[in-house]
Amino acid sequence: MRILTIAPPGAGKGTQSTLIAAHFGIPHISSGEAHVALYLKADDEELVRRLLARATVEHRADDTEPTIRKRLALYREVTHPIVDWYDQRGILVSVDATRAAEEVGREVLAALEVIRSMVDPAGGRRSVDLTGLGSAFGQDQDS
C-alpha cells in the first residue's frame, strides 16, 4: 500500500507518517506514487497554536505568528488543491487532526487497514471522509 499524507504545516504529518510507516512496514515515497492519500484536517487557529507551541519547545525563533500565517496561506494556495485531485481519483482518506495525536493515530490506522482491502489499482474507488466518525459513536469532537 502507498499512502500520501496531505496536511498544512503543524497538522501532524511527520508524527502520523512515522506511525503509519512503522505499523505497515512501508517506506516514505514521493507523492506521485500514492494509491491512497491521507488528509489530516485541522483549522488554521489550531495549526497556529500548535506551531507556536512547537516553536517554543524547539526554540524556533523564526516561527512567529505572522510567519506561520504566511506558510498556511501558501499551503492553501499551492498545496491544498492536491487534496481535490486525490479526492477526484477516489483515493482520499480524510481524518480530523485536531484531536490528540494518539486518537488521530488510532483512527488513521483503522481507516487504512479497512481501505487497504478496498484499494484496486484498476479503479472503482471512493474517497473516505472520517472527520465526523467520532460523533457517530457518541464522542465529543472537542475532546
| Average pLDDT of the residues in 12-40 | 82
- Dump pLDDT digits (tens) for 46-86: 999 999 999 999 999 889 999 999 999 999 999 899 898 88
52 and 68 in contact (C-beta within 8 Å)?
A: yes
Q: Where are the beta strands (DSSP E) in 16-119?
A: 36-41, 92-96
Report the CATH architecture of 3-121: 3-Layer(aba) Sandwich (3.40)
Entry pTM: 0.69
3-state secondary structure of 95: strand
The three grid cell numbers given for residue 37, joined into one nine-digit string = 492519500
d(CA 123, CA 126): 9
The three grid cell numbers given for residue 104, joined into one nine-digit string = 488521530
130 and 93 in contact (C-beta within 8 Å)?
A: yes
The three grid cell numbers given for residue 8, joined into one nine-digit string = 498544512
